[in-house]
Amino acid sequence: MKLINTGTLSTLAAAVLANSAVAQEAASLDEKVNAAFATATGPFVNLIFAPFPGTSFPWIVMWLVVAATVFTLYFGFVQFRFFSHAISLVKGDYSDPNDAGEVSHFQALATALSGTVGLGNIAGVAVAVGIGGPGATFWMILAGLLGMASKFTECTLGVKYRNEYEDGTVSGGPMYYISKGFSELGLPGGKILAVLFSIFCILGAFGGGNMFQANQAHAQIAGIVGDYPGWITGVIFAAVVFMVIVGGVKSIARVTEKVVPFMGILYVGAALVILLVNYDKIGWAFGQIFAGAFTGLGVAGGMVGALIQGFKRAAFSNEAGVGSAAIAHSAVRTKEPITEGFVSLLEPLIDTVVICTMTALVITISGQLMIDPETGRYILDGSSIATVDGNSGVALTSAAFGSSIGWFPYVLALAVVLFAFSTMISWSYYGLKAWTYLFGEGKTTELVFKLIFCVFVIIGAAASLGPVIDFSDAAIFSMAVVNIFGLYFLMKIVRKELASYSDRLASGEIRKFKH
């Protein structure tokens, strides 16, 4: 994988900086961090992404897709049958006015979304399309649609088996539903699985929820102001994160929570404008997506290459089956745990089917991916598709948007930084919940986790994209290994809830409060 290209400004700045001894020392510090990190995480990454013998297909991707398909079939396409009901729930049609002031379905969904919508949608999609070609988008959408069922399963259980403490606070997530659900069913090993999940969740919080975000945020800032050592961004980011999660400076978090949805809308809006302006190319772009999905159009690995990239990025972006959303959704106040399951199934739809597809279409239409005019196939540069300026990751998305709206890269840079920040805040909470599950709730244990979390921000910003993205993926997918294994045993509980709720909805026992 190529490093992020930082543009002409950066080359200039780098030339100036290169003369100073400080910069050289700093650069070597970045290199040391990078090398040490890659060595330390290599075996873990290799295990998670091990391909099926004799193929190049990683077993973990199959694990996620098979699970999403199983849940889709087992719950009779719940994502389509209860889609409009989910919208009604989010609108508050079924919310008791006497519960006003509690966490609403909308709030739980928005909080979970601000943890998932982010770099996965901007950088992740660019990585998928850059390696797997536009065809990866098709598989990404398919994985998103199937993933809605996984999300439904885990979030229903998240609310059903959460811990409610005497002071009124709640803690939920896979570690709680696996341990409680297994003992309810008389199955052994629930506790061990819960501990295992918690360990992976902490790693995921440090990886995808932290280092990957810090890394890409640095790449964006460096792309605009010029190249400079990553640890500087890392220290600044770590300081702000520290102020929020340790210092309890709520104002920063609140500002972010308000700006992030605005940025999300702006991003989708800009993508729509670009698509409207280039409406004549939309048909062609979809043609590329469909043709690429089944033939690969010359990308490395052909159709399978496109499929692997699409599935991988979808899972990384919407986190369906990973279990993180179950932690975020468990705070909602409802008498019916399954209602939160319905609401949560909108998440992969918004995240993957809408936002990721927008990004992929803009990249495809922008012509950043180089096509051989004679054969109509993509030109390869190593294992990825050659791009106009040699960009990859978030820089590719930035260049694609920039080719239509000149000033958009600046807005995108701000969006990336804010998305990265809000994802970090969300994941610091997911990681903390896993940490307290292992070590018990308490001020000191919580502080230890939060401090380690801040240190990883610095490491993430200093390391290069390759090892960081590998470790992030591996850590997040390892959560899915344990979570989905647990879900297979617990899904019959969800089916019982679904049957009971459907009956009561049909009989009119569950009614709308608003008409």
Partner 1 sequence: MTTKLVVGLDGHESGGRALDHASKLARLIGACELLVVYVIEWSPYSFQTPEENAERHKRREEEISTAMERVVNPAVDSLTTAGLNARGLVRHGNVADTLNDISKAEGAEQIIVARTSDNSISKRIFGSSTANLVMEASVPVTVVG
For 114, the 3-state DSSP assignment is helix
Give CA angle at 4 (353, 264), nearest 5°. Answer: 35
- Smallest distance from the beta carbon of 99 to partner 1, in angstroms? 9
Q: Which CB, 250 or 511, lies closer to partner 1?
A: 250
Beta strands, E only, 203-303 = none
State yes or no: residue 101 binds partner 1 (CB under 8 A): yes
For 453, the 3-state DSSP assignment is helix
Residue owning tokens 């993180």: 324
Residue owning tokens 């536009």: 134
State yes or no: residue 402 binds partner 1 (CB under 8 A): no
State yes or no: residue 106 binds partner 1 (CB under 8 A): yes
Candidate segments 33-41, 165-173, 370-378, 450-458, binder of partner 1 by CB under 8 A: 165-173
DSSP codes of every residue in 80-102 = HHTHHHHHHHHHTTT--GGGBTB
Q: Hey, which residues between 319 and 358 contact partner 1 (CB under 8 A)?
A: 327-328, 331-333
* DSSP secondary structure code for residue 208 in this structure: I
Q: Which residue in 42, 51, 189, 261 binds partner 1 (CB under 8 A)?
A: 261
State yes or no: residue 408 binds partner 1 (CB under 8 A): no
- Smallest distance from the beta carbon of 101 to partner 1, in angstroms? 3
- Smallest distance from the beta carbon of 383 to partner 1, in angstroms? 37
Polymer length of the chain:
515
Encoded tokens for 14:
């780098």
- Smallest distance from the beta carbon of 178 to partner 1, in angstroms? 19
Give CA angle at 265 (261, 268), nearest 5°. Answer: 135
- Smallest distance from the beta carbon of 483 to partner 1, in angstroms? 18
CA-closest candidate to residue 215, choices 389, 363, 410, 33: 33
Q: Which residue in 97, 186, 406, 508 binds partner 1 (CB under 8 A)?
A: 97
Q: Which residue in 22, 84, 258, 276 binds partner 1 (CB under 8 A)?
A: 258
Q: Which CB, 222 or 418, lies closer to partner 1?
A: 418
State yes or no: residue 110 binds partner 1 (CB under 8 A): yes
Q: Which residue in 200, 316, 421, 429 binds partner 1 (CB under 8 A)?
A: 429
Residues 136, 407: Cα–Cα separation, whole Å: 28
CA-closest candidate to residue 317, choices 80, 202, 132, 476: 476
Candidate segments 44-52, 223-231, 256-264, 354-362, binder of partner 1 by CB under 8 A: 256-264
Candidate segments 24-32, 74-82, 254-262, 456-464, binder of partner 1 by CB under 8 A: 254-262
Pairing mode, strands 380-381 and 384-385: antiparallel
Is residue 287 within 8 Å of 364, Cβ to Cβ? no
Write the CA distances from 219 to 210, 226, 259, 392, integer angstroms: 14, 10, 21, 11
Is residue 475 within 8 Å of 230, Cβ to Cβ? no
- Smallest distance from the beta carbon of 442 to partner 1, in angstroms? 16
- Smallest distance from the beta carbon of 422 to partner 1, in angstroms? 9
Q: Which residue in 5, 104, 116, 317 binds partner 1 (CB under 8 A)?
A: 104
State yes or no: residue 169 binds partner 1 (CB under 8 A): yes
Q: With CB under 8 A as the rule, give the number of residues binding partner 1.
A: 35
| Amino acid residing at 455 | V
Residues 211, 468: Cα–Cα separation, whole Å: 7
Q: Which CB, 297 or 418, lies closer to partner 1?
A: 418
In the complex, the residues that contact partner 1 under the rule CB under 8 A are 92, 95, 97, 100-104, 106-108, 110-111, 114-115, 167-171, 250, 253, 257-258, 260-261, 327-328, 331-333, 425-426, 429-430
